[in-house]
Amino acid sequence: MSPPGKLRHITLINISFPTLPRFLLSSPNLVSLELNPDSNDMGFLLTYAFLAALSATTQLEYLLIRNSKFYFSPAAWPYLEQRTAHSTPSTRDPIVLRSLIKFDFGGPSNILEDFVSRIDTPLLEQLYVYSDRLGLDIPQLSQFISKRVLMNSLPHRMSIFFDTHTMIIEYHFGHLPTRRGPILLKFDLRGYAMLENWQASHVLHICGQLSPFTSSVERLGITVNPEKYSWQPMSSSETERDAARWMELLGSFKSVQVLRLLCMPYDAGFGIALALESSTRETAQEVLPVLRFVSIYASHCLDIEWFIAARKRTGQPITVYESDWKSDWDEPGDADN
């Protein structure tokens, strides 16, 4: 094993390492640190000794903290929430991680909230958040994100992906010549007992906490995985509520010029289509006011003709393209900046 001072990468999986802070202090050349602690050990992340040791790793570019027991075992949630219920942000000056580019966190949102309230990462380019809680109240995380240098450009593209048990929200920021990779903010939210019609309401909950980013998005993609999405029939009242949620969500995107819809089967995207249709009954400018292009996969399964016709009558026609089931934004009008 290399002497601590020469270590560049450390990976610890379910290993108790009480002297880790001291070890980090003797590892100034560390570039990546991956920790998968046991549920009982998550609290050490908030100790000043650990954070101070992190600040000593002045070359640290990648930090991963992922608790697999929390992430995959619902039985661990109440215990971990109780352990962090009374924690509060530190009153000390934040610990500066000067070289950190990528931060990947999976575990209780309580721990995440406390952790980001205690650190500063001026060069952060990629932030990945994995959580079990679809509500995900993130006041501290929102404040943390708003201070990052990478966020100065504001996101130009946003993607929303969901199936029966997963929702992924990605904000894509402008590529700067000095950066080595994409600038990205990603939320990966999962649940074992999904409530009906959760998609729009929970996306809206997160977007509301990141409203400056939402309002700047120019390209919006909404994808439903047809292989993993289990749709349950809704009553007329449930359908109306679902459409109302989607209309409220779409109404928060004031700058979207390109809308990409990959919604199969038809029922999975029905709330989106109904929301667009409902918006035209009052004013076609209320939802997605500067929309110019719509790209749809299997357009025969997602009827938005009413919305398209209403926009044409207002003098702001929308061009519609048939899309393939791809992950890339390569339709006309979708060129990535």
pLDDT of residue 218: 92
Confidence of residue 178 (pLDDT cuts 50, 70, 90): low
pLDDT of residue 119: 92
Query: What gap in Å lies between CA 130 and CA 188, rounded to an integer?
Result: 5
Q: State the average pLDDT over residues 254-261.
A: 91
Higher pLDDT, 36 or 72: 36
Confidence of residue 196 (pLDDT cuts 50, 70, 90): very low
Q: Is the pLDDT of residue 104 over 90?
A: yes
Domain boundaries along the sequence of the chain: 1-124, 153-181+197-327
State the DSSP string of 290-324: T--EEEEESGGGS--HHHHHHHHHTT---EEEEE-
Q: Is the pLDDT of residue 83 over 50?
A: no
pLDDT of residue 227: 58
pLDDT of residue 76: 40
Confidence of residue 72 (pLDDT cuts 50, 70, 90): very low
Most confidently predicted of 20-34, 41-55, 182-196, 275-289? 20-34
pLDDT of residue 329: 60
Share of the chain above pLDDT 70, in %: 68
Higher pLDDT, 322 or 199: 322
Lowest mean pLDDT among 111-115, 240-244, 281-285: 281-285
pLDDT (tens digit, 9 = 90+) per residue, 302-313? Answer: 678 888 888 888
Q: State the average pLDDT over residues 266-271.
A: 64
Q: Is the pLDDT of residue 128 over 90?
A: yes
Query: What gap in Å lies between CA 28 and CA 64, rounded to an integer?
Result: 18
pLDDT of residue 86: 36
- Among the listed residues 34, 27, 36, 35, the one whose alpha carbon sits nearest the alpha carbon of residue 8: 27
HSE (side-chain half, CA atoms, 13 Å) at 5: 0
pLDDT of residue 39: 59
Q: State the average pLDDT over residues 289-313.
A: 81
Q: Are 299 and 320 within 8 A, CB to CB? A: yes
- Give the number of other CB atoms < 10 A from CB of residue 47: 11
pLDDT of residue 269: 67
